[in-house]
Amino acid sequence: MLEVERLNIGTRDALFVENLSIELARGRLTCLIGPSGCGKSSVIKWLSGVLAPELRATGCARFDGHEIALPHPGIAYQPQGDSLFPWLTVFENATLGLEIRGEADAAARDRVRGLFPIFGLQGNEDKFPDQLSGGMRQRAAFMRTMVQGARVLLLDEPFSALDAVTRLKMQDWLADRLEADPRAVLLVTHDLFEATQIADRVLVMGQHPARIIADIPLTIPRAARTEASLAGIRSTLKSMLLEDSR
């Protein structure tokens, strides 16, 4: 569905991402892991059209086989953290993307209201983000991303601010939501436990320069994944990351 080819990103002096290619398929959750600072966020910022202007990038993005200009309406981006605006209610945050695109008519607003129970946020429409728990804020941020209707979702460390238990619950919740409403998802995480728990596929990014050093499909059904069944793959991923950082 979405292909990135020969992506280079760097400063004026040097490239830090070099000749990187990625393919994302519909209904598949791909996790991108790699050492801090290797360029994971820069890759998804480039795909979202929000790369810092002082960085330079060349590369090609294709959607359903056609080369596209970025940003593209078929690609939605959720930055690190929950990124909700504190001065807007949860409902206003959820409809913000639609407002910006001029698509927040009465029917669209009713559709978003109808999603609140599905996202576990019923009764919280008129609250402000600081009146919600961390998990609820994440669900609200994710709802805002989903309602834009994009077929590709780019999620930058969506669970990094959550405590361990909420994080586990949110991982299951996200996998269930995507099963009910499949999209092509690229999720950046530092956490290889998280990656192996939720992904259909893990891409490992190396550094100096950043490129994909492994592409590992996870074939065990999510419901059957246990510490024991994932131990081998986690150990392989850990070795790759340590090896690359030497």
Ligand X SMILES: Nc1ncnc2c1ncn2[C@@H]1O[C@H](COP(=O)(O)OP(=O)(O)OP(=O)(O)O)[C@@H](O)[C@H]1O
With contacts defined by CB under 6 A, name the span among 31-39, 89-97, 223-231, 234-242 that binds ligand X. 31-39
Nearest alpha carbon to residue 121 among 110, 138, 136 = 136
Residue 54 lies near ligand X (rule: CB under 6 A)? yes
Residue 11 lies near ligand X (rule: CB under 6 A)? yes
With contacts defined by CB under 6 A, name the span among 36-44, 70-78, 90-98, 233-241 that binds ligand X. 36-44
Residue 13 lies near ligand X (rule: CB under 6 A)? no
Residue 38 lies near ligand X (rule: CB under 6 A)? yes
Closest approach, Cβ 51 to ligand X, in A, equals: 8
Q: Which of 36, 65, 86, 106 binds ligand X (CB under 6 A)?
A: 36
Residue 212 lies near ligand X (rule: CB under 6 A)? no
State the number of binding residues for ligand X (CB under 6 A). Answer: 14
Q: Which of 37, 49, 73, 182 binds ligand X (CB under 6 A)?
A: 37
Question: Which of the residues 181 through 210 are near ligand X (CB under 6 A)?
Answer: 190
Name residue 125's amino acid: E
Closest approach, Cβ 132 to ligand X, in A, equals: 25
Q: Please list, in sequence order, all residues whose beta carbon lies within 8 angstroms of the beta carbon of residue 73, skipping any fewer than 6 positions away.
A: 101, 150
Residue 40 lies near ligand X (rule: CB under 6 A)? yes
Residues near ligand X, by CB under 6 A: 11, 16, 34, 36-42, 52, 54-55, 190
